[in-house]
Amino acid sequence: MPQLITSLPTPQTVVDSAPGTCASYRATRVGSVRAPLQKRLTASMTATGFGSAETSLAVTKDGTLFMAPGFSAEGNGVLRSRDHGQTWELLPLRLPDGRSTTREQPYMYMDPLTERLFVHNSVMRFRPPDFRGGYHQFISDDQGDSWRYQCFAHEVRDWSKYCAGPTVHSQTVDYPHALYFSGPSPLSTRFFPVMGPRFQSFRRSLDGGRSWDRVGQISLLPRDVPKISRWEWVIFGNGVVRPDGSVYWIFRRGPQLALAISRDEGSTWQIVEVPNAPLLPFFNILQVGFVNPNYVIGEALTVDAQGNLYLVWPDPEGRLRFCVSRDGGLTFSEPVVISAPDVVNVSFGVATVKEPGVIAIAYYGSFDGKSHHGYVAESRDALSAEPTFTGGIINPVDDPLYPHGFKVGYDQMILGGDLNEIVHVRYAPNGDILASFNKRMRRGAKKKGGWNAAEHANSRLQAVLGRLT
């Protein structure tokens, strides 16, 4: 039976632009600046009570919420809430032999048209060691009550994403549109000179995910990118499909943000660099694991019903940048800073769109260079040259999500710990903005705010839901 845990939200006061409150600010090319309050919003956070890792989020049309992964003594699985995030239950995911699914490289995607859920975990694991390729994939059409299983994509092991949309020329079978899946092979991490990613693999399904065909690939070798160092790193983020069926994937092309564009359903790809969008230069993996997580490009791309593309990314100064392309990647607006004025460092900025020009963003951020909080904000004029955002911190300021600096978890991964490299943000049917974060818990159940790791599958992270109301 699903395990149920109840939690109540912690509201944040709406007063002015001080950290921990909701405020408005205008995005400019040199930084964000305070602006008169545009809309009265309330930021809050609900703790799920379950262990987790890099959290994905999905919201159905009837308001059912899903977060993945969830960890407990019952096993690994998906968290579900049918009461707007006040209580959560764990839906365990089982392999064909009855064992719980793995917890490495979890990811969940919901096709917004059909609400079909896709959840995968890597076959690869560190404890006990197993470096085979492929994913355990689970698919549900009944909001997680039942799942069908397959093991697929054996050429990849980590950092893989889905997107869905109309086809250009192909006929689908018993499903309204095409699904795309992409990941790096043999893995995403660049361990120079021992090993590293060789190519980005693209798969397409025309039957709703029952079968997947490899349709194309892009080299991830620095030597195939003009004018970058051989030490550099090429890594992809997420993808979207425009209304005309063209597929877009955002990625780090060395120290430069870029888009990969396919107009033939993933078979061939055009590379477009985003102007005035430099990224941190990369030299070795220790920078990512112990210095700065912003070498990874996450859920940084979204698209609206008119085909406008919205891009977010961390700039070299640790701020969240933003631009728009209204013509399918031919031209881009001048990048502006959309993180809050007080924020000095962001991690894993993401965006989602409600309608043309109305977007929500979420990210981990710090205003003191040490403690990290969950930030959520909305803009209703995102197509303007200098859009205005309103939002704030979802957690109590005196109780940060990460009190002693943001930790991705690379140092603990090989010992069975969990990574945290994903944030998702979504609109709920009632207009609320929801975002998935993790809170790093203190070991020791008897301590203030303590966490009995043994009761949470030895996870140091708790999945929490941020909300902008």
Is residue 66 a contact partner of residue 112, using CB atoms and an 8 Å limit?
no
CA neighbor of 177 nearest in space, from 270, 261, 244: 244
pLDDT of residue 7: 45
Residue in 81, 34, 28 with CA at minimum distance from that of residue 432: 81
pLDDT score recorded for residue 11? 36
Query: How far is 332 from 277, CA to CA, in rounded Å?
Result: 11
DSSP 223: G
CB atoms within 10 A of CB 82: 15
Report the alpha-carbon angle 11-14-19, nearest 5: 90
Between the CA of residue 332 and those of 177, 411, 420, 430, what are the distances in Å?
28, 38, 30, 32
Question: What integer pLDDT is reported at residue 149 of this predicted model?
Answer: 98
How confident is the model at residue 193, as a pLDDT?
64
Residue 212 near residue 153, CB atoms below 8 Å:
yes
CA Rg, the chain, in Å? 20
Instruction: State the amino acid at position 339 in one-letter form.
Output: S
Query: What whole-number distance in Å separates Cα of residue 200 and Cα of residue 182?
Result: 7
The pLDDT value recorded for residue 21 is 76
Question: According to the model, what pLDDT value does residue 46 have?
Answer: 96
Measured distance CA(56)–CA(171) in Å, rounded:
30
Each of the 469 residues of the chain gets a pLDDT tens digit; together they read: 455 544 444 433 333 334 447 999 999 999 999 999 998 999 999 999 999 999 999 999 999 999 999 999 889 999 999 999 999 999 999 999 999 999 999 999 999 999 999 999 999 988 788 889 999 999 999 999 999 999 999 999 999 999 999 999 999 999 999 999 999 999 998 876 667 899 999 999 999 999 999 999 999 999 999 999 998 999 999 999 999 999 999 999 999 999 999 999 999 999 999 999 999 999 888 888 788 899 998 899 999 999 999 999 999 999 999 999 999 999 999 999 999 999 999 999 999 999 999 999 999 999 999 999 999 999 999 999 999 999 999 999 999 999 999 989 887 777 777 999 999 999 999 999 999 999 999 876 556 567 888 888 989 999 999 999 9
CA distances from residue 235 to 173, 205, 281, 296, 401 in whole angstroms, order as listed: 32, 23, 13, 7, 27
pTM of the model: 0.94
Sheet of strand 336-337: strand arrangement:
301-303, 309-314, 320-325, 336-337
> What tokens were used for 421?
């490299």
